[in-house]
Each structure stands twice: as structure tokens, then as C-alpha cells.
Amino acid sequence: MKNTLTAIASIAALTSFGTYAQSSDYPMDDSGFYVGGNYGYLKAEGEDDFDDDKDVWQGLLGYKFNEWVALEGSYIDFGDYGSDLAGAETDGYTAAVKGILPISDRFSLYAKVGQLWSETEYNFGTATGDYDDESLFVGAGISYEITRNFLVNAEYTVYDTTLDADEAVDDIDDTDFETDLKQASLGIEYRF
């Protein structure tokens, strides 16, 4: 009798798993860790000589608590921007809260708000230096679930950064330059 019940339970479990695996609808509400990466376009624009368009890449690690909320951290490389006369190179780390709105079985919209801790190495002619900054960012995107564990994303994010060139340039009255870094990227995400 015990073997019969075990066999029936096993057949039921395998049938349920097979039906689930063949289904085209994957639930988006699983919690757990995920890793991913983004690659895209960066526009640096501000009050200074750093207006430029460059590539940007980002590696991320997150934890999804439920279908609505995740916590996400990343390393981001904004590359170098500007010119030989006045240029900069920025990279940093982020932490964000991510709000998710499922709109179908496979599509979801999301928004992020968080903090960027960045380091910028800059040059003004022959003078060089570096500056650490903490700034806020906001972003939004759309996610498509290819399989239960593999997703693709399209995202737009704006970072409100500052460059303080105090130490490099003593003869300029205002050495605080506001620079917005605007990132449009495509990415992948793998959920464990």
C-alpha cells in the first residue's frame, strides 16, 4: 500500500511538473537572488565641458522579496568623457529599491530609486585629480521573462552627480560642476 501511494504521488508530481514546464506562462512572483548585467548608451551633460556620449556597462546583484519589491546593488563603469582639455572617468557602486508592476505573465514594468557612490578621475589640461561623490538616481524600465529564470530588460536611468575640481584648479571661482549622467541600456537577468 505504501509503495502504491508513493508511486501515485510520484506520477502526480511528474505530471504537474511536465504540465508546468510545457506551459508558456511563467509566474513572475518568485522571490530569491538574481544576477545580471546592462550595456548601453551614456549621455553626460552639465554646466561644464563634459558633455559627451559614451558606452556604459553595469553588473548587478539583487534580491527579489516578492512580485512587487526587490533590493539591488551594482558596479557601474561610466567610462571616460570630455576632451583632452577637460575630461573625466567615472565608476562607482549603487544600492537601490526596485518597485515592480507585473502587466502580463511575462512583461513587467519597474522603477528604481537609489544612491550612487562614485569616484571620478578628472583632468583640466595638465592638472589631474579625483573626486568621490554620493548622489541620488532614479530609473525605470520594462522586463520580459524569456524563461522562468532568464529575463531581458530595457532601462533608462538618470544620475545626479557633482564634480568638485577644487584641488586641480585654484584660479577658477566655481569648481563645482553639476553633471547629469543619463543611461539608456539593455540588460539580462538570471534568477536563482
Domain-embedded: residue 19: no
pLDDT of residue 75: 97
pLDDT of residue 103: 95
Buried b (16+ CB within 10 A) or exposed e, 1-25: eeeeeeeeeeeeeeeeeeeeeeeee
Domain-embedded: residue 177: yes
Domain holding 44, by residue range, is 27-191
Q: Supply 192's cell numbers.
A: 536563482
Domain-embedded: residue 17: no
Q: Supply 146's cell numbers.
A: 524569456
Domain-embedded: residue 16: no
Query: What CATH code is carried by the domain that includes residue 159?
Result: 2.40.160.20
**CB-count exposure of residue 180 (10 Å: 0-12, 13-18, 19+):** middle
Write out the H or E segment, with its range, that includes residue 10. Answer: helix 2-22
Count the neighbouring beta carbons within 10 Å of the beta carbon of residue 126: 6
The domain total for the chain is 1
Domain-embedded: residue 126: yes
Q: Are 115 and 136 in contact (CB under 8 A)?
A: yes
Chunked mean pLDDT (size 10), the chain, 192 residues: 46 42 49 95 68 81 95 91 74 96 94 93 79 90 94 94 54 55 93 92
Domain-embedded: residue 137: yes
Domain-embedded: residue 3: no
Rounded CA-CA distance 42/124 in Å is 21
Domain-embedded: residue 13: no
Among the listed residues 38, 53, 60, 64, the one whose alpha carbon sits nearest the alpha carbon of residue 149: 64
DSSP state of 80: E
What is this structure's pTM? 0.72
